[in-house]
Amino acid sequence: MRGMFRTARRRTFRIAATVGLWLCASVPFAQESAEARPPREGAEEAAGQEADPAEAPDAEPPVPALTPEAVLAEFDSRTSRNVWPGFRSGEIPIAIFDGEDTWLARHPAPPEDFAAAEGAAGLLVHEGRHPDLRADGPIELAGRWTAALLAHEEGATLEGLTGTLIRAAFHVYQEQEESLVVPDHHQLCDYPTEDADALTGRRLELAALRHAVVSKLEDDAAAWARRAIGIREKRYETLSKQALIYERQLEEYEGLARYTEVRSMRQSPRDLVPEKGFAPDAVLDRAAVTGAVFAILLDRFDRGWKTTWADSSASLEERLTERLEGSSNAVVHALTPGERVAIVDAAVLDAAYHRVALEDERDEYLGKSGWTLRINAETQKLLPQFFDPLHVKRMRHGEVMHSRRLVLENELGTVSIEGRKVLTQTSAKRTLADGVERVILTGFRKRPETSEEDGVVTITAPGLELTFRDAELREGEELLVLEF
């Protein structure tokens, strides 16, 4: 229970101490070329931005109903523009959970548990939430890739739901298109999120990209893009090869989906990049934006880049670098000293706080009252069959906290956890893809139900289903230990 009783004063002291130690070291990104000069006055403006809307009338327009039919109609309207060659959005199956039932459209071989919906032509309905719909994104439903949308969240808007559905549909297209990469999300659990230098580099790069995407003049946009790529190249010197590949894969997978949404929804590039950057562990969100920015810049410097996509395996950033080689180098831009100092200081504090917050969360989780289940699998490692990359945290090297769904298995059986936190551990030199060696589940209010029959151990509890053979189950004080 240590994490639950730490005082704010103690946390502040720990963060201050961490920041102080970091500031004693050199900051690789603190120096800038003296020959660079700030942007010309008035040289930035949202490239391709839509005209500002007229002032709103006194009476607010009615809020559109968030029915499945309304979302589908808006989706079809927005995707009628051909923003990516070969992306035929009208042929992609779509499943929408509205908080009560699951609605299915355009599925060529729908599951038997869907029936025709009264008063909704072309739609099928499943009573309640279909078990395969656990998150937004691509799912396999009855053997067909389907775009899934959870439309029941509080505060949802028609525009927001439509954008999410566009990304999900494009991910379905990516899953089926051989020329588009699907990232290996096992690498997410080893991506350096808590390192202050790495965070500083990411935010400096993002700031330069923001200047590039909103610059009105082409020479300015090219200069800022080159600056961002230069910062990235320096950052990549300290990034592992696996993390580098994963980042580029994410930018293609998440970034092109975000780009498709931006172009389909006619969103402004100025609103795409947040001024303060992203949280240290917002790896997927950041890659979606940087990938989309690279794609928008490619639109500017090579309008035919999408038609030749399959001809090269180069990343978005590499393609942009090649296109910029033919642009003028006469203009050079750099972040101002004030911008750099603000970014560096914020990154140091955010990284330090992030590390402390992770330790507090870990301590609180391990100290929870109630029953605990530990699975020791050093001799029979558990391989991930499913985990949600949007709901994982790297707590320490080799430790990952999953908060939505995790399925692990080996040749002896399977464990499935859904709707509750679970901590997985691997040895220091291994990754999640190499197999999980220990699983820790805490906070069960009641003793999980167990049975042992014919050499098979079964354990069930809310959010937990486990079945293994040839395993030993031991019990202590509010503790169950399963070993292979």
What would the 3-class secondary structure string for the chain be? Answer: CHHHHCCHHHHHHHHHHHHHHHHCCCCCCCCCCCCCECCCCCCECCCCCCCCCCCCCCCCCCCCCCCHHHHHHHHHHHCCCCCCCCCCHHHCCEEEECCCEEEEECCCCCCCCCEECCCCCCEEEEEECCCCCCCCEEEEECCEEEEEEECCCCCCCHHHHHHHHHHHHHHHHHHHCCCCCCCCHHHHHHCCCCCHHHHHHHHHHHHHHHHHHHECCHHHHHHHHHHHHHHHHHHHCCCCHHHHHHHHHHHHHHHHHHHHHHHHHCCCHHHCCCCCCCCCCCHHHHHHHHHHHHHHHHHHHCCCHHHHHHHCCCCHHHHHHHHHCCCCCCCCECCCHHHHHHHHHHHHHHHHHHHHHHHHHHHHHHCCCCEEEEEECCCCCEEEEEECHHHEEEEECCEEEECCEEEEEECCEEEEEECCCEEEECCCCCCHHHCECEEEEEEECCCCEEEEECCEEEEEECCEEEEEECCEEEEECCEEEEEC
Predicted local confidence at residue 64, as pLDDT: 55
Higher pLDDT, 319 or 81: 319
What is the longest distance spanned by two Cα atoms in the chain? 79
pLDDT above 60 (res 8): no
Domain parsing of the chain, residue ranges: 2-32+184-337, 68-176, 368-483
Start-to-end CA distance of the chain, whole Å, equals 29
Predicted local confidence at residue 460, as pLDDT: 98
Higher pLDDT, 269 or 338: 338
Predicted local confidence at residue 49, as pLDDT: 43
Two tokens, residue 262: 């931006």
Give tens-digit pLDDT for 212-256: 999 999 999 999 999 999 999 999 999 999 899 999 999 999 999
Of 23-32, 114-123, 151-160, 317-326, the range with the lowest mean pLDDT is 23-32
pLDDT above 60 (res 2): no
pLDDT above 60 (res 342): yes
pLDDT above 90 (res 27): no
pLDDT above 90 (res 120): no
| pLDDT confidence band for 472 (50 / 70 / 90) | very high
Predicted local confidence at residue 65, as pLDDT: 64
pLDDT, mean of residues 449-454: 96
Predicted local confidence at residue 31, as pLDDT: 47
Predicted model pTM = 0.83
pLDDT above 50 (res 9): no
Average pLDDT in the chain: 87
Give tens-digit pLDDT for 303-312: 899 998 888 8
pLDDT, mean of residues 65-89: 92
Predicted local confidence at residue 51, as pLDDT: 41
Predicted local confidence at residue 143, as pLDDT: 94
pLDDT above 80 (res 18): no
Most confident of 179-183, 286-290, 326-330: 286-290
pLDDT, mean of residues 88-96: 96
Residues 182, 263: contact at Cβ < 8 Å?
A: no
Higher pLDDT, 53 or 158: 158
pLDDT above 90 (res 162): yes
